[in-house]
Structures are given as structure tokens and as C-alpha cells.
Structure 1
């Protein structure tokens, strides 16, 4: 089975790196296209895969096609490849906002397509990917896709109707977390901690806290309560966060994120 990737940006690189590291496919089983020469050279030098500037060559040589381009670019790519992509190709899309129905209409046929939404922690092997297959995708084909997507983090099948929630809770959320880490570090610097140490303390606290949620199985509220001693420092910090609308701000941000995703 040969994998063809249209696009060679950061997410494509994360996916290729994970696939090769986990030995899901060999470097000779992957071909990647990009109109940008520097991206092609980087992919070839980093992973030893075949690269090309011709999207049609990718489609001709691969059974699985992964679209890893920007939402603004995919209409032109679909128009270019409409006649090359047939119902026998297994399609994976990481294009934000583009539904299964959109792909079927753009290509003029019902495709075997798996709509996905990964996130940038895939770059360090800790991605989270939402997965929605079309009815044309068989269980065996979905299993093959899940193997690919799990090579750079976690992947879970979800109904397509909640894909905007996936975009807001994991696809875009690393930006929210990075902002929180930066703000926590700024607070630590204000209190006298050197900047380099502040980033490490803040990032490790977020990493460790997330790991506790995933590994203990406890509700986040219960874990929060475990840190909040009566009349202590943490409950006072929590009070201020509640007063400043910490939770509501996140929820509103996620609503806005989902709204933009629907309009892409």
C-alpha cells in the first residue's frame, strides 16, 4: 500500500515522521507533493521519501491519498485532481472545515473519504485526532487509516456532526494552552523567577496536570479540589480566575472557533 500526501507543511511532516518512526510504512511507500521547492527538499532530506511538484503524480502512484493543504487551497487542488481521483482511492483529509459532502461535490462522485482533524502536538508524537469516515469506507480501510493516524498520537472516531467541537477542543486548543503557559510564565517572572525557568515550571505543570486527567480517570473538578486546601493559596487563585471569567472566556473562544470552522 502506497501513501500519497498532497502538501508538505508542518502537519504533513509530523504525519510522515510518525509513520516512519512507528514503521507503519517504509520511506519507499510514501510520496509527497508541494509547489514549494524548499518544502519538497526538506521532506526528502528529513525522511528519504519521494517528492514531486506534480499532484497528479501522487494520485497516480498511491492507493491512499492524504490531503494536507489549507482550506483556501483545497478547491483548486480538487479541480485539478477531479478526474484522477476515483472511487477506489482511499482519501484522508486533514483540511479544516471541509466536510465529506463538500469533497463529494467538489470531486463529483462519492469518495471513500475519512475526514480528520489532528493538532500540532503531533509534531512531538502527542497529537489528538478526530476521525469521521464516510459510509463508503470499509472497516478494514478505517483500521488502516487509524493505524496511520495513531502513529503520531491518539485518534478517535467521532460523528462528523461534532467535528467543529473537535476543531475547538483539540485542533485549535494548543494555542489556548500556549497562551496560558506564557501568561503563567509572565506571572512567575513578575514574582522574581528567571524567564527560562518560568517557562519550564509552567509547561511541566500543564503537562503533568494533563497526564493526571488521562491516567487517573478522575474528573478534572475532583483533581482541582485535591489541590485546593481550605483558606489556602490555590483556592484564592481559583476565586480570582472565576471572578475574571476564566471558564466563560474559554467556552466563548471555543464557540467562536467552531463558528469560523463552519464557514471555511
Structure 2
């Protein structure tokens, strides 16, 4: 593979670090010079990584081009570039449709959208891919796993679900600070909560595992403490979560 990354932020760094640690067959990785600190750091970690003189040099050198730029500047950056017919493009740009990208690029080529998460750096990330594309899905499988979806609606829904990461850590922070207020050291609370939630995720990730609702019932004794907390949370928390997901989906869909 000859990979190119237009945009050198946190996700680009995570993907490249995961790819370098994987069993993928990579010939070269070309990255934008825009973020000099990240670009320099990546170039130092492997001889396969080359910092391009500019974005066009990255596109020229790559067979697969990853667009990892902010939506606010995407059109300006992409329209200034010359792509080759038949080249593969993987867009990591939120809320920019494939038809719009085709219009900006102006030549016939393959465009796939993806939502990689920071965990791809450790090859533990799950990445949504749309539309299904064997090589792109295989790339992200090497960085954890991929979920290929056949419709934009499904892709947007996974994009909305991905916005739960901050809330997940927010719940843990609230719980840790509550424990701290009750007299426990914050570090001790964190040392307990983090592996607890890892174990819960592993239980849900096992092949053939039950639904989330079945797991909730399994882990909640009737009349017990887990059931009590769930019932209290459901009185307002579930509605607030659903409202938040609906609002972020509307934003993703441009409504």
C-alpha cells in the first residue's frame, strides 16, 4: 500500500500508529506538513513515513488518500488538489456527503467514508465504513474491526452513536468524583471504575453474547442495587440520552 493523509491531526496519528504496528503490507505513508509537530513525530517513528512538501505532493504519491481535515475548510482544501482517475479516497470528514466530495474532486474515483476512533492506534478500534468497500474495510480490520453499512442512514446513525464517548467518560468522572466526595481517593476510584467498565464491555463483545437488555437483566438482581440505580436513571436519564442522540443526528444530517 501507498497511503497518503491530507490532514495531520490526532486521528491521522492514531491510524498511522496502528497501521505501522499491524501486519498490513505498507510501502510508504505520505503525510501533510500542516501540523509540523505531529508530522515530525510520525516521521521519526518509521522510515516508511514521509512528510510531503504540501498536500498535492501527498496526493501524487498515494494510491489511497485519507482526507482528515475539518469540515469548515474541506472544500477549500479539496478543490485545490488534483486527483487521479481511479484513485481511492477515504473521507474522514464529518457531515460531508460522497456526492459533494465527487463534485469537489471532479474526476471519477472511488470514495469511501469512515469513522475511525482513537483506539485504532492500539488496533482496538471499531470503524464504520460506507459504502462497503473490501480494501478499506480490510485496512480498518487490521486496526481492530470494521462495520460496513449499506446506507447513508445507517452510517449517520453510527456517527451519532460515536458521539457517546465524551458522555461515557463523563459518567465515570461523575461517579469517581462522587466516590471522592464520600472519602475515597480519586485515583483509587478511577483504578476500580476503569477495569470494571472494561469487563462489562468485554462481556457484551463476546461472540454470540446476549442483547444489552438481556445483559442488564443478567447483571441486575431483582430488587437489587443495580436494578435500583437503573430504575432511578431511567426516570430522566434515558430521555435525556435519547434527546441528545436525536439532536446530534439532526446535526450530522444537516437538519
TM-score by length of 2: 0.91
Mapped to 1, the partners of 2:7 and 2:25 lie a distance apart of 18
1:227 match: 219
* Counterpart secondary structure, 1:65: strand
Task: Answer yes or no: is the 8 Å Cα contact 2:6–2:55 preserved in 1.
Answer: yes
**Residue of structure 1 equivalent to 2:35:** 36
Counterpart of 1:241 (choices 233, 236, 252) is 233
**Residue in 2 aligned with 1:214?**
205
CA–CA separation in structure 2 for the residues paired with 1:201 and 1:257? 31
Corresponding residue for 1:138? Answer: none
**Structure 2 equivalent of residue 252 of structure 1:** 243
Query: Equivalents in 1 of 2:254, 2:53: separation in Å?
Result: 30
Give distance in 2, aligned partners of 1:209 and 1:21: 27
5 Å-filtered alignment, 1:68-107, equals 68-81=68-81, 84-107=82-105
Alignment of 1:189-208 (within 5 A): 189-208=180-199
Q: Structure 1: which 5+ runs fail to align?
A: 135-141
1:17–1:143: structure 2 CA closer, same or farther, 3 Å change rule? same
Whether the 8 Å contact between 2:13 and 2:38 is mirrored in structure 1 is no
What is aligned with 2:179? 188
Residues 160, 249 of structure 2: 8 Å contact kept: yes
Structure 2: which 5+ residue stretches go unaligned? none
Report the aligned-residue RMSD. 1.9
What's the counterpart of residue 169 of structure 2? 178
Q: Do 2:220 and 2:227's aligned partners in 1 also have CA atoms closer than 8 Å?
A: yes
Report deviation, 1:254. 1.3
Deviations 1:59-78 (A, max 9, x none): 11111111111111211111
- Secondary structure of 2:142's aligned partner: helix
Q: Secondary structure at the match of 1:73?
A: helix
Indicate conservation of the 8 Å contact 1:68/1:95, yes or no: yes
TM-aligned CA distance change 1:52 to 1:78, over 3 Å: same
Are the counterparts in 2 of residues 19 and 25 from structure 1 also a CA contact under 8 Å? no
CA distance in 2, matches of 1:34, 1:246: 44
Q: d(CA) in 1 for partners of 2:183 and 2:9?
A: 39
Query: Do 1:115 and 1:132's aligned partners in 2 also have CA atoms closer than 8 Å?
Result: yes
Superposition deviation, residue 127 in structure 1: 1.6
Displacement of 1:157: 0.8
Aligned length: 252
1:229-253 superposed Cα distances (whole Å, 9 cap, x missing partner): 233222221221112x222222211
Q: Deviations over 1:68-101 (max 9, x none)?
A: 11111211111111xx213211111111111111
Alpha carbons 2:124, 2:145 under 8 Å: kept: yes
Q: Which residue of 2 aligns with 1:47?
A: 46
| Structure 1: distance between partners of 2:244 and 2:46 | 37
CA apart distance, 1:34: 3.1
- In the aligned structure 2, how far is the partner of 1:4 from the partner of 1:148? 14
